[in-house]
Amino acid sequence: MSRSPVIETRGLTKHFGSHRTRVEAVRGLDLSIGAGELVALLGPNGAGKSTTLRMLTTLTPPSSGTARVAGHDVLADPDAVRRAIGYVGQGNGAGHQQRGRDELVSQGRAHGLSRARARERADELVADLDLAAVVDRPTIGSSGGQRRRLDIAMGLVHAPDVLFLDEPSTGLDPQNRAHLQDLVRRLHAERACTVVLTTHYLEEADALAERVVVVDHGRIVADDTATALKSALGDLLVLRLADPAAAARAATRAERLRGRQGQPPSVTVEDREVRVRVAHGREAVAGLVAALAADGDAVGSLEVSGPTLDDVFLALTGRRLREDGPGSERSEETAA
Amino acid sequence: MSTTTGRADPAAPTRGRGPDAPRRPSWLGDVRNVAVRELAPLRRQPASVLMAMMQPLVFLALFAPLLPEVPGGSALQWFVPGIVTMTALMGASFAGAGLMDEMLTGSHERMLVSPLRRSALLVGRALKEVVPMLAQTAIILAVVTPFSFDLHPAGVLLGMVVLSLFAVGVGALSLALGLVAHGEPWLFWGVQQTVVFPLLLLAGVLLPLDGAPAWLRVLAALNPMTYVIEAERALFAGSFPAADVAAGLVAAAAVAVLGLLVGVRGMRRSA
């Protein structure tokens, strides 16, 4: 990344509780995010994503380490950080008893816009985010998807350099989640601002972010583009053969496969089934099937699947990310 | 990676100079913003001021008729200032519940990440309590004036200055309690009820404490609300006894100062 970092953390650490009952939420995070990046912090509930975001947005002071956002230290100059960032938390930024338009104007005033400018700005956002049907009645009557759009509008009032979104799509149905992802992509493209979001939806990180930072147990376990993370892992081939002996022969052949960079495959056999994880498996599979056929071992059935970020997470941590599945409750750690 | 850097948001507020460039609001600007925001639901739905008034109106309708006539004026003349003060106490003591609601739903967090000063978040909310208090007093006076209650506007006006200070102080203390309770409604309401009712009874809202046992009178003397009510009773009757009015003013101001100090401290520590 040649661009100068907009977010930079060094050994960022947060623990909660007293000495005995200490919970290490974030452990020595070193993260550098350049201007204009769109980054997803991906991890299961309790991984430390939200705590990290809360430290970057001045809501929670770090226990140790430093974080600079938009050129300002979060501890030394939280006010300057707050002026530079937009924040869309897990809850609703607009008060439930309030009208959306009033809240947009109030937020604009808080950021130092004149009354006229704040009203104008509210109008612009209402038009841009399709909120006309929502903002002139109490927020509590709006749907989850509408409220989320309003929350995002609240975060954009002052056209921030950096926009943080904490689990933006949690609690939304698949259609609204797709709309939200389109919106975030569009805003990022149009506004040239840095976007950092947390998610425990793999699909979201995959579809949305240019860069995925995988967090587990308060540490970064991987940091790359989704494509690079996945291609490093390789494709999965599942071959079914006539009998276990044929499967064993097929496994021996499969072990000789090499990815383009020469990485060895990982091969497991179970009864008549052979599972091969290998880089660029799609290209290699035709040759493998042909070679097996030449040996007289016909492949009964064949599945080829590209790696998912779930597979990446499993490979990195030994656990699946989606044990709780989508639609689970709001995440963890809105801690004490 | 994208090459969008430099393509600025055309709708963005103008950065740099110019009459429309964002300028950090003054502290008073922040306070005003918070108070105006707090008042928006009331402005949109004025009937909501009646919400905190059910109890006092019930007392006026069902308890006031039981009062014996007091020497030197009607029972209502004696009772109404207490009920007005009670309404102020009740209304302001709910302030923290509104804040807790916003802590749970997320708008408080959003405001904590905005450039609004922490102290303004507290002071603006506490100051807002004055508006429903004045509206509620006006309603009570409108209800009782056709009966045996004589309206003395000058006294009532000065009484409202005293009561405004008291309401701001109670509001700030309630907000501090809401911050401490941090999303545990039982804790907030438990403490609120435990504090509000003894304060009311010990201030002689319902019955005079003249015939009370000595220990009760000591407790009453320690209750700042006692002095506020004494002052209100004199002022609402159209008299201005300097000592009583001063005592009420000092007691109300003390509650305001204490409440704002505790509240601002709590808000600064708010995560």
Residue in the block written with tokens 């919400």: B51
Q: What is residue B20's predicted lDDT score, i.e. its pLDDT?
A: 61
Residue B19 has pLDDT above 60, yes or no: no
pLDDT of A226 reads: 84
Show residues of chain B in contact with A114, CB under 8 Å.
Answer: 19-20
Q: What is the pLDDT of residue B11?
A: 45
Using the beta-carbon criterion (under 8 Å), do B13 and A336 form an inter-chain contact?
no
pLDDT of residue B227: 96
CA distance A240 to A242: 7
Q: 3-state DSSP call for residue A130?
A: coil
pLDDT, position A57: 96
The residue ranking higher by pLDDT, A102 or A20, is A102
> Mean of the pLDDT values across residues A66-90?
95
pLDDT band at B148 (very low <50, low <70, confident <90, very high): confident
pLDDT for residue A64: 94
- Choose between A117 and A318: higher pLDDT: A117
Return the residue in A58, A106, A188 with the most chain B beta carbons within 10 A, the one to mutate for interface testing.
Answer: A106
Residues in chain B within 8 Å Cβ distance of A124: 11
Question: Residue B261: pLDDT above 90?
Answer: yes
Kindly identify which residue of chain B lies nearest to residue A159, measuring between CA atoms: B12
A233: tokens are: 């892992």
Structure tokens at A274: 């052979």
Domains of chain B, by residue range, sit at: 48-269
Asked whether the predicted pLDDT for residue B177 surpasses 80, the reply is yes
Torsion of CA B7, B12, B16, B18, to 10 degrees: 130
Q: Which of the residues B3, B100, B113 would you substitute to probe the A interface, choosing the one with the greatest number of A C-beta atoms within 10 Å? A: B113
- Averaged pLDDT, B201-210: 86
What's the number of CA atoms in the CB half-sphere (13 Å) around residue B60? 26
Report the alpha-carbon distance of residue A60 to residue A58 in Å, rounded. Answer: 6
> How close, in Å, is residue A249 to chain B by CA atoms?
44
Question: Does residue B171 contact residue B259 with C-beta atoms inside 8 Å?
Answer: yes
Cα distance from B98 to chain A (closest Cα, Å)? 10
Q: Are B159 and B235 in contact (CB under 8 A)?
A: yes
Chain B residues within an 8 Å CB radius of A191? 4, 8-9, 12
pLDDT band of residue A67 (cuts 50, 70, 90) is very high
pLDDT one-digit tens code per residue, B84-113? 999 999 999 999 999 999 999 999 999 999
Residue in A with minimal Cα distance to B25: A112
The mean pLDDT value of chain B amounts to 88
For the stretch A228-266, pLDDT in tens is: 888 778 888 999 999 999 999 999 988 888 765 667 788
DSSP type of residue B205:
S
CB atoms within 10 A of CB B196: 18
When CB atoms are compared, the residue of A110, A124, A189 closest to B115 is A110
Q: Give the chain A residue nearest B37 (alpha carbons).
A: A106
- Using alpha carbons only, give the angle A55, A59, A65 rounded to the nearest 5 degrees: 30
CA atoms within 13 A on the CB side of A15: 12
pLDDT (0 to 100) of residue B18: 56
Dist. CA B172–CA B123, nearest whole Å: 7
Q: Which of A158, A159, A150 is nearest to A129 (CA)?
A: A150
Question: Is the alpha carbon torsion for B255, B256, B260, B261 positive or negative?
Answer: negative
B228-258 per-position pLDDT tens digit: 999 999 999 999 999 999 999 999 999 999 9
By C-alpha distance, the chain B residue nearest A193 is: B5
Instruction: Choose the mutation target among A53, A109, A147 for the interface with B, i.e. most B CBs under 10 Å.
Output: A109
The answer to whether the CB of B160 falls within 8 A of the CB of B134 is: yes
Are B30 and A110 inside 8 Å of each other by CB? yes
Task: Give the integer Cα–Cα distance in Å for B61 and B79.
Answer: 12
* The token pair that represents B254 in the structure block: 């003390």
Alpha-carbon span A230 to B18, nearest angstrom: 49
Q: Is the CB of A37 less than 8 angstroms away from the CB of B1?
A: yes
Distance (Å, rounded) from C-alpha A31 to C-alpha A35?
13
> Mean per-residue pLDDT for B121-140?
95
* DSSP β-bridge partners for residue B138: none
Report pLDDT digits (tens) over B24-77.
Answer: 899 999 999 999 999 999 988 888 888 767 778 888 888 888 887 766 678 888
Give the tens place of pLDDT for each residue, A164-216.
Answer: 999 998 888 888 888 888 989 988 998 889 999 998 887 888 888 889 999 99
Mean pLDDT of the region A131-149:
92
pLDDT value, residue B96: 95
- Residue B94: CB partners within 8 Å, gap ≥ 6? B52, B174, B192
Mutate to test the interface with A, among B3, B7, B9 (most CBs of A within 10 A): B9
Q: What is the DSSP string of A300-326?
A: -EEEEEPPPHHHHHHHHHSS-TTSS-T
Beta bridge pairs of residue A9: A31, A67
Q: A114 vs chain B: nearest CA distance in angstroms?
A: 6
Shortest CB distance from A87 goes to which of B23, B102, B113? B113
Mean pLDDT of chain A: 87
Handedness of CA B9, B15, B19, B22 (dihedral sign): positive
Q: Is A71 helix (H, G, I), strand (E, B) or coil?
A: coil
> A192 is written with which tokens?
């040239």
DSSP A219-269: EEEEEE-HHHHHHHH-EEEEEE-SSHHHHHHHHHHHTT---TT-PPPEEEE
Chain B CB contacts of A59 under 8 Å are 109, 112-113, 271
pLDDT at B7 > cutoff 70: no
pLDDT value, residue A261? 64
CA A46 to each of CA A26, A335, B8: distance values in angstroms, whole numbers, following the listed order? 10, 11, 36
User: What is the spatial distance between Cα B263 and Cα B257, in angstroms, rounded to a whole number?
Assistant: 10
Closest residue in chain A to residue B7, using alpha carbons only:
A192
Tokens (6 digits) for B8:
């600025």
Of the candidates A195, A152, A143, A197, which has an alpha carbon nearest to the alpha carbon of residue A171? Answer: A143
Residues of A in contact with B16 (CB under 8 A): none
Better-scored residue on pLDDT, A280 or A57:
A57
**What is the reported pLDDT for A326?**
42
- What percentage of chain B carries pLDDT values higher than 90? 66
* DSSP-derived 3-state class of residue A193: coil
CB contact under 8 A, B40 and A99: yes
- Alpha-carbon distance A219 to A203, whole Å? 21
Search chain B and give the residue with CA nearest A118.
Answer: B13
pTM score = 0.85
Which are the contacts of A61, defined by CB distance < 8 A and separation ≥ 6?
A55, A74, A75
Name the more confident of A226 and B71: A226
* Contact between chains at A93 and B36 (C-beta distance less than 8 A): no
- A11 and A65 in contact (C-beta within 8 Å)? yes
Residues in chain A within 8 Å Cβ distance of B182? 336
Q: What's residue B113's pLDDT?
A: 96
Cross-chain Cβ contact B33/A97 below 8 Å = no
Find which of B4, B27, B184 to mutate to test the A interface (most A CBs within 10 Å of its CB): B4
Q: What gap in Å lies between CA B238 and CA B250, rounded to an integer?
A: 20
Q: How many CB pairs under 8 A join A and B?
A: 138
pLDDT at A332: 40
Return the number of other C-beta atoms located less than 10 Å from residue A332's C-beta: 17
**Partners of A97 in beta bridges:** none
A121 vs B13: CB contact, 8 Å cut-off?
yes
- The residue-averaged pLDDT of B222-228 equals 95
CA distance B128 to A83: 25
pLDDT the model gives residue B16: 47
